[in-house]
Chains A and B, each alone.
Chain A
């Protein structure tokens, strides 16, 4: 009995050891690509990395953060990078995410491209600003029954350089409802002027990994890792009229933009439509009223789609799209910034189109 046991363990181990040795040898010879160079933006930065690994991971290890939501599995299609040389041909796993236009511009999915030889890539300059920050929770405040305002104070590095409306990624550590570390993107509500803090507005999503963590587990004084800033959703510096439309925690980037406008003394004609279901979903009303006084030509229009009897609501009533249609007569000289759920944004884009807002002046952040 014991002998049979030993023999079976021995044989299987022998087989495994033999194959393992084979693999180790193969990895050190066939799989060894030596050290390769990644040249970024025409040599403005050159990294030396171990060959054979995916470009995304190689860049991350060297502190260049390319936004990615799936963690390198090739399923989100966000980690696009222009690879000028050394990337080899397109892989079938990349093609579903790359349009013909992007192909002509040599855009690749950096999680699929393996660095086997020296490569040259081009990334937006802003990505150099992207860093990982260690922060501490300074305060957590209830804005509504399901939205919390979380203020993080930066520890290392101590300052962040942002544009109003951009977002960061919040790293959620392992906790009881999630056995792996994940990250989720949130817009910053704090203005660029405040470089020592990051303020987030996070709505509780049922079963959401990050939102549950923030609402149920995060306490003041806890350490939080974030990286950023990312995003093309920022206030353009023009003379056009501004239409802001947001719902729920879509308030965050718009608030950041408004605070930035206040500081810079903007005089552009600005209307902010904020949609909510009933009064208990409204928040920051006092702050917005105060901004109406300090920013010339700024109007805040909160609208309720289903006001309750006890709300005693006297403001605008109806879906946000109807309110926008009622109050904006003509939009050809306007820029629009939308932040909210995909359904709301798609509906609003249609209305803005009817109001003749040029499509290239409509910016949005869907979540």
Chain B
């Protein structure tokens, strides 16, 4: 593939063909528990986009300029987790102080996703796939948008589901997991669109 369009291919791939939630099944915990209502899903999804798009390049810097020079790349799990946790907490404090509406819609979800495995997953994929700083940012942004789309779709379905007759044994998490499975299969339809190594 042409080198110059590569970053954008990665961006779109991370949204659709390589959706972090539906193809890698990362970040399921909050996906299942918060997708009950569309409004809260919007807030959480936006928070995930923001945190992924910022922490992935941040971790790229930590990895490239702190861990690699000292040959410590095996410590990336610990380092990434610390960076993500501190960054998220800091952002929450700033938002809480300076923007009431933003705190209402996004801020209170930040602590929820500090330990979301999709966030750490994005940083680790960035390392495995040897992205550059710019591609890391696009990858993080794309993965966040992909997660956002998945949870919004799920919330929409679950709101409709309130009026549906679900067999008693399948109510709640059961039917949600079945739906997530169908959604994952649907997203597999995108798989041939962008070929990435």
Contacts and interface: CB of A to CB of B under 8 A. Distances in A.
B100 A89 contact: yes
A57 to B, nearest CB: 16
Interface in B66-89: 66-67, 70-72, 75, 78-79, 82-83, 86, 89
Given A15-B62, A23-B90, A8 B108 contact: no
Main secondary structure of the interface of B (DSSP, over half): helix
A17 to B, nearest CB: 11
B43 interface: yes
Given A19-B86, A30-B93, A30-B94, A92 B70 contact: no
Interface centre among A4, A7, A8 (most CB of B within 10 A): A8
Given A15-B66, A92-B108, A8 B72 contact: yes
Interface string A4-16: 1001100110011
B39 interface: yes
Nearest to B85: A19
Nearest to A4: B71
A31 B93 contact: yes
Contacts of B72: 7-8, 11
B90 A22 contact: yes
- The size class of the interface chain A forms with chain B is 20 to 34
Contacts of B67: 11
A322 interface: no
Contacts of A91: 104, 108
Contacts of A12: 75, 78-79, 82
A88 interface: yes
A7 B70 CA distance: 7
B40 interface: yes
B83 A19 contact: yes
Give the contact-size bracket for chain B: 20 to 34
Is chain A's interface secondary structure helix, strand, loop, or mixed overall?
Answer: helix
Contacts, number: 52
Contacts of A16: 82
Contact of B93 (A19, A20, A27): A27
A4 B72 CA distance: 9
A7 B72 CA distance: 8
A130 B51 CA distance: 44
B110 to A, nearest CB: 13
A26 B87 CA distance: 11
Contacts of A30: 93-94, 97
A88 B43 contact: no
A334 to B, nearest CB: 39
Interface of A: 4, 7-8, 11-12, 15-16, 19-20, 22-23, 26-27, 30-31, 88-89, 91-93, 114
9 contacts: A4-B71, A8-B72, A11-B72, A15-B82, A16-B82, A19-B83, A30-B93, A92-B43, A93-B108
Given A12-B82, A22-B86, A114-B96, 8 more contacts: A11-B70, A12-B79, A15-B82, A23-B89, A26-B90, A92-B40, A92-B104, A92-B108
